Amino acid sequence: MNKKLYVGNLPYKTTSDQLQQLFSQAGSVTSATVISDKFSGRSKGFGFVEMSSDDEASKAIEIFNGQEMEGRKLIVNEARPMTPRPMR
């Protein structure tokens, strides 16, 4: 079963492809997405990586949490489910 990970404190120029390449060192990556602002298109500095198994996800957290990437310490943990937000 796939396990989704939150990856925070990314350098702003990181792309989804770079994120996927980085996490493929820990195992099989199902998807990798860097979240960007819908108006400016600029990265928000975080993203999500989906690993193909729980073991690979645990390994990725162990390897990459706290690791420096271009001078920024990555924050990697299991993603929490999205909560519904009220309409504006």
* Number of separate domains in the chain: 1
Look at residue 85 and tell me if it is in a domain. Answer: no
Domain span at residue 46?
3-78
Look up residue 11 and give its DSSP letter: -
- Specify the CATH number for the domain of residue 20: 3.30.70.330
Residue 48 φ/ψ region, left for φ over 0, alpha for ψ in the -120 to 50 degree band, beta for the rest = beta
Look at residue 74 and tell me if it is in a domain. Answer: yes
Look at residue 87 and tell me if it is in a domain. Answer: no
Look at residue 86 and tell me if it is in a domain. Answer: no
User: How many Å apart are CA 23 and CA 3, to the nearest integer?
Assistant: 13
Structure tokens at 10: 């990314």
| Per-residue model confidence (pLDDT) at position 1 | 78
For the segment 9-32, what is each residue's pLDDT rounded down to a tens digit?
A: 999 999 999 999 999 999 999 999
Per-residue pLDDT of the chain (88 residues; tens, 9 = 90+): 799 999 999 999 999 999 999 999 999 999 999 999 999 999 999 999 999 999 999 999 999 999 999 999 999 999 998 888 888 8
Look at residue 83 and tell me if it is in a domain. Answer: no
